[in-house]
Structure 1
Amino acid sequence: MTGSGAVIDWLLNSDPSIRWQVMRDLLDAPEAEWMAERAKVETEGWGARLLSYQDADGQWAGGAFLPRNFDSREWHEHGQPWTATSFSLSQLREFGLDPSSERAKRTVQLIGANSRWDEGGQPYWDGEVEECINGRTVADGAYFGIDVSSIVDRLVGERLEDGGWNCERINGSARSSFASTVNVLEGLLEYEKATGGTPESREARRSGEEYLLERNLFRRLGTGEPADERFLRFVHPNRWRYDILRALDYFRLAAIRTSAAPDSRLGEAIDHVRSRRLESGRWPLDWSPTGRVWFEVDDGRGKPSRWVTLRAMRVLRWWELWH
């Protein structure tokens, strides 16, 4: 197998949005060094390119969740479009746009003033009506310094009896889903990092974690069978989709926050991640959601992915520090 040094060199020979995370999470570079690299996200590479598509009113593609003049036939024929404000903002968070930068501050202010949700017409930072969307809105808002406490309170109240969330609750679903739960958990964790959270939000996050852990991140509680084979296939960008690598990276971040040891129930998912490593030491992209995008950030399905590899390497590094 190719040594990890060669893989890290491959990761570093990339975009600033990847480089700064490699420096922080894999190389333990001094904060001043990775922060300097992170600052380039605004002016170089994918971050600068995505910002260049922003509308004058702060939105992307003229809409909150869907592009302006969206035709439902597009979703049916080509897949969900990913160019509107919600997904563009989440991608900037993944890239690591510095929330203290003037560009970031102006962006979230303009969105608050001008963007309205397609479902209900409420102001963007008041949140939408669906748990999955609101989980990501909380994550973005908390990351960029917006007060999203009212959305957090709503999400806490929408938790289901089994401990997680389901965006189909409003349509009668009484069982949580993996995807909705991880979207909400990421939001609650980002809110907790920004504000400390509330006793209620922290308890809700713990119960959501337990929902996933009881299922070893991918199994049905009743039968033990995989709930969805796609959960074991690595997807990027995740958008709202779930896979075990996304969940593992969430648990890594949550544990780092409290210096907690990894839960042993993550072990099966960790073993699966190890098993998918290629001879080159890299990890493949198994699939990406179909639909309109501003531009691609991976080399294609079946090929080694820097994003998947970065996530896998930092998850395994964290796990192995404790084992």
Structure 2
Amino acid sequence: MLTTMNQVLSWLLQGDVSIQYQTQRYLLQAESMLLEQLQKRIETEGFGAQLLSARNENGYWGIWYYQPKWTCTHYTLCDLKGLGLAPSNPIAKEMVERALTECQLKDGGLNFAKSDIPSDIAINGMFLAYASYFCPKDARLAALDLCIRSFQKPDGGFSWDYASPIGDPHTTICVLEGLYAYRYATQGTSSIDSCLKQALQCLYQRNLCIGEDPRYIRMAYPYRYRYDLLRFLEFAANAQIPWNESIEQALVWLVGKQHDGVWNLQLVHPGKVHVQFEQVHQFSRFITVKAIQILMQYAQASKTAEVGLRRCESMEKDKPVPSVESTGVDYFA
């Protein structure tokens, strides 16, 4: 039976090879051979190839590891992981290893600034996420993990501000992703689980930070270092966080953003980029594949998620497949 969900899946599979890979992996649960073939193509086609080709002769992207946003080595590696680049990719592995050699401090944190300052906890969290993906066996990640966890605030959150008595949502979500990636890659200890639970409670107690910043409820991708509800839900789905009332509240928001089975890109964080993945105010393949994955994860526990999936399957059969033709970039500050 032809349904709008089938049309959406067809539309996703017409996108960049990275979207094809994510659709086959997360939505269609394809066999490993097909996934390996698609993932390998990410480095030679589309967005992945464009990012890899922007690398300088000295090995860095941009000027160094964190200069400038968003074309530096750090954010390019974040983007490559987000696309699903194969973890065996030699370029990504090389640059993670170089970052540890050139930038790791005695306390285990990383200093990506060319100055004598303490490491940034948010950057440490982001780095741990992609380093655990590309170089999970590097023993130096253990020191980074311990460094990050040593700076957990009394409220359970994390902050870039060493003097702050409380966590901030941006740093906290970066750390959640990093610690989970390290825990998953190394089958880490229960002490990491305890840290993750406390950090989640920090966000729950702040009502997922809803109302604190209007950007938190806009559909944005790439996330960069910033927190928002979509990023929280993607983390929760990937980490298989059990359904709870806070997640339900975020799912209600997610379903409310749906338009005929797809989701729009509402926000791009301003800054120079190597590749403009998608256009603001247009249907977004990146966000749509994430949203459907999230709804699938929570469909059995949440009526909201179940209804969101049913909406995809019960729309009019003759709805046109969405278009993502460029209409120009519109940045929200």
Question: TM-score with structure 2 length normalisation?
Answer: 0.82
Q: How many residues end up aligned between the 2 structures?
A: 290
Please tell me the residue identity of whatever aligns with 2:29.
D
Query: In the alignment, residue 240 of structure 1 is paired with which amino acid?
Result: Y
Structure 2 counterpart of 1:129: 119
Deviates more, 1:188-197 or 1:2-11: 2-11
C-alpha deviations, 1:198-231, integer Å up to 9, x for none? Answer: 3332211111111122334234xxxxxx222221
Residue 73 of structure 1: aligned partner: none
Q: Which letter maps to 1:289?
A: H
SS at match of 2:167: coil
* Aligned counterpart, 2:37: 36
Assess, with a 3 A threshold, how the Cα gap between structure 1 residues 119 and 154 changes in structure 2: closer, same or farther. farther
The letter for the 1-side match of 2:16 is D
1:1-323 matched pairs, under 5 angstroms? 3-67=4-68, 81-113=69-101, 117-120=112-115, 129-145=119-135, 146=138, 147-168=140-161, 170=162, 172-219=163-210, 226-255=211-240, 261-279=242-260, 281-298=261-278, 300-323=279-302
Code of the residue aligned with 2:112 in structure 1: it is: W
Percent of pairs with identical residues = 29
Give me the CA root mean square deviation: 1.9
Deviation at 1:14, TM superposition (A): 0.9
Local SS of the residue matching 2:42: helix
**Cα deviations across residues 173-197 of structure 1 (Å, max 9, x unaligned)?**
2121111100000000000111122
Residues 77 and 92 in structure 2, CA contact (< 8 A), matched pair in contact too: no
Task: After TM superposition, give the deviation of residue 8 of structure 1 in Å.
Answer: 1.1
Length-normalised TM-score, structure 1: 0.84
Measured in 1, the distance between the counterparts of 2:54 and 2:251 equals 38
Shift in alpha-carbon separation, 1:107–1:59, aligned structure 2, 3 A: same
Superposed CA deviations along residues 37-56 of structure 1, whole A, max 9, x for unmatched, are: 11111111111110001123
**In the TM superposition, what is the alpha-carbon distance from 1:282 to its structure 2 partner?**
1.0
Which stretch of the first structure deviates more once superposed, 188-197 or 104-113? 104-113
Letter paired with 1:285? L
Gaps of 5+ in 1: 68-80, 123-127, 220-225
Q: Secondary structure at the match of 1:317?
A: helix
Q: Structure 1 residues 203-212 or 184-193, which shifts more?
A: 203-212
Per mean C-alpha deviation after superposition, the further-off stretch among 113-122 and 103-112 is: 113-122
For 1:263 and 1:120, locate their aligned partners in 2 and report how far apart those are by CA, in whole Å.
43
8 A contact 1:135–1:187 mirrored in 2: yes
Query: Following the alignment from structure 1 to structure 2, what is the Cα–Cα distance between the partners of residues 31 and 61?
Result: 35
**CA displacement, residues 271-291 of structure 1 (integer Å, 9 cap, x when unaligned):** 110011013x11011110111
Structure 1 SS opposite 2:252: helix
Residue equivalent to 2:325: none
Change (3 A) 1:52 1:254: same
- Structure 2 gaps, min length 5: 104-110, 303-333
Q: Is the 8 A contact 1:57 1:110 kept in 2?
A: no
